[in-house]
Amino acid sequence: MNVIKTNIEGVLIFEPKVFNDARGYFFESFSQREFDEKVAPILGHTIRFVQDNESMSSYGVMRGLHFQRPPFTQSKLVRCVKGAVLDVAVDIRKGSPTFGQHVAVELTGDNRRQFFISKGFAHGFAVLSETAVFQYKCDEFYHPEADGGISIMDQSLGINWKIPTDQALLSEKDTKHQMLANFDSPFNINTNLYIESETR
């Protein structure tokens, strides 16, 4: 697995080693051992994923920008197993030098890239293909009472979602999230976001 650092600390891109032959292909989509060896030194802590999720969406669907509030904050490892999505992480940590900035990466069933998003980021994606199957691992269970979000249509974020706005399909919940300018973030760059989850 090749680990690629991005311009925002806590956001990484993974490229797996793929073995191709006449029968097809094989690759390890996740190895806890390799994750600990290669990623934990970069992050400064270990990650233990506890929940896997999968969604299927059609072209133009936009999901996000989601996060869970403390003490149920989540890190995510996401990938697109079929089709193509534009995946985005937005830094919403108070005091961060990159607050409000984002990293965007195209994840496809062909490039097999994965995207790691630390706690303290809002996450979302837009479907660029006719359909897309999207999978992600979380290091905290889903807690609906901790749901939070930033508007995926907030133009101040400067995200090029690569789909026409008039073709975007959002859930009712995702149309009601706040703009970043009106958002009081529960995350702080000077707070160890892993204290609660590691001691529970």
Catalytic residues: 66, 136
Q: CB of 15 within 8 A of CB of 27? A: no
d(CA 199, CA 181): 33
127 residue type, one letter: V
Interatomic CA distance for residues 75 and 119, integer angstroms: 5
List CB contacts of 192: < 8 A, sequence separation 6 or more: none
H helical segments located in 74-194: none
